[in-house]
């Protein structure tokens, strides 16, 4: 195994700096890739990690179950922790360092009193069902982006930052908010979106899928089916008839629809013209969230 497990910020900075110096000494160009995760890694994460490895000379994947982004203590407690398997998956993908800090290392003074707020964009869709979730997620992403910065500067050839962070498009709202934060607050990092990875039957990969029973997993396929229905109507410039896609989801056993919305890809605001009954034009994203049994799942698909 060539990956190193690092648990403190000081060690992470020292080790990445050392590795970057080695890259420079051997004539390579220095760049750092960060893959923030909460662990319980699956092949969707492996895709993120492999992309980061292909595009950077040094790669750090963080594994930290961030208490700030869980509204419900039970949800936090039952979030799967699979450190050994995570380390093996990241090693296989070619990641240099797995940074797995303790809660005390990340929040030495307890929960931070100063936080990043996601604003109104964090109050819709997922944010409406999980109040405070995006403030917690942005706060830890902001910390991780700073924590992973090595002790010495990174070259920025052509003015582009040689620091990149990788986020999955499955969490479309999180990705949009992280991009907004980085732009609004001038973080010196490039945010790289990575496409959703689906199982062969269409289910989007998620750390929560492991909680689904066989029957629930079959029922959960209705999420990607409903999105696919909207995408094919959009492709054909037909009316989306969102109501019929909602009805399809509601008809699946044990599936409780939270929302199915067609939104603007940049702002995630519901489209003023949602093309329920009129031919679809332009571009949009369809976002869906539903509870399948006791497991909350999200998915999305680009339309147009």
With 0-12 / 13-18 / 19 or more C-beta atoms within 10 angstroms meaning exposed / middle / buried, residue 232 is exposed
Tell me if 197 is assigned to a ligand binding site: yes
Q: Is 45 a catalytic residue?
A: yes
CA contacts within 13 A on the Cβ side of 205: 18
36 binds ligand PAF (CB under 6 A): yes
For ligand PAF, the closer CB: 140 or 222: 140
- Whether the CB-CB separation of 101 and 228 falls below 8 Å is answered with no
Q: How far is the CB of 187 from ligand PAF (least distance, A)?
A: 14
264-300 CB burial, b ≥16 within 10 A, e <16: ebeebeebeebbeeeebeeebbbbbbbebbebbbbbb
| 123 to 162: interface string for ligand PAF, x by CB under 6 A | --------------x--xx---------------------
44 binds ligand PAF (CB under 6 A): no
* Among the listed residues 31, 56, 57, 66, the single contact to ligand PAF using CB under 6 A: 66
Q: How far is the CB of 38 from ligand PAF (least distance, A)?
A: 4
Q: How far is the CB of 50 from ligand PAF (least distance, A)?
A: 17
Q: How many residues bind ligand PAF (CB under 6 A)?
A: 10
For ligand PAF, the closer CB: 145 or 223: 145
Helices (H), 5-109: 9-25, 43-55, 73-78, 83-93, 103-106
Task: Give CA angle at 130 (220, 292), nearest 5°.
Answer: 15
Residues forming contacts to ligand PAF in the complex (CB under 6 A) are: 36-38, 66, 69, 137, 140-141, 171, 174
Binding residues: 38-45, 69, 168-171, 174, 197, 205-208
Which residues are marked as active site?
A: 45
């Amino acid at each position: 195994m060539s990956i190193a497990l690092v648990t403190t910020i000081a060690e992470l900075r020292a080790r990445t700096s050392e590795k970057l110096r080695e890259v420079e000494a051997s004539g390579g160009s220095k760049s750092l890739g960060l893959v923030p995760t909460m662990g319980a890694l699956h092949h969707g994460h492996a895709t993120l990690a492999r992309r980061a490895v292909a595009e950077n000379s040094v790669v750090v994947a963080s594994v930290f179950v961030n208490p700030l982004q869980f509204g419900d203590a039970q949800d936090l407690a039952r979030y799967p922790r699979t450190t050994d398997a995570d380390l093996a998956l990241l090693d296989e993908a070619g990641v240099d360092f797995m940074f797995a800090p303790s809660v005390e290392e990340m929040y030495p003074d307890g929960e931070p009193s100063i936080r990043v707020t996601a604003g109104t964009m964090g109050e819709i869709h997922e944010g409406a069902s999980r109040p405070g979730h995006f403030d917690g997620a942005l706060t830890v992403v902001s910390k991780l982006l700073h924590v992973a910065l090595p002790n010495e500067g990174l070259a920025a050839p052509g003015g582009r930052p040689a620091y990149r962070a990788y986020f999955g498009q499955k969490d479309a709202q999180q990705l949009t908010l992280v991009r907004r934060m980085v732009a609004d607050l001038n973080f010196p990092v490039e945010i790289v979106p990575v496409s959703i990875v689906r199982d062969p039957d269409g289910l989007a990969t998620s750390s929560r899928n492991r909680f689904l029973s066989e029957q629930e997993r079959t029922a959960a396929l209705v999420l990607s089916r409903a999105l696919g229905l909207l995408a094919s109507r959009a492709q054909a410039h037909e009316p989306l008839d969102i109501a019929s896609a909602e009805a399809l989801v509601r008809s699946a056993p044990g599936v409780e629809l939270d929302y199915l919305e067609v939104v603007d890809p940049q702002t995630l605001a519901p489209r003023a013209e949602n093309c329920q009954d009129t031919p679809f034009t332009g571009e949009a994203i369809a976002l869906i969230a539903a509870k399948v049994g006791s497991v909350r799942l999200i998915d999305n698909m680009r339309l147009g």
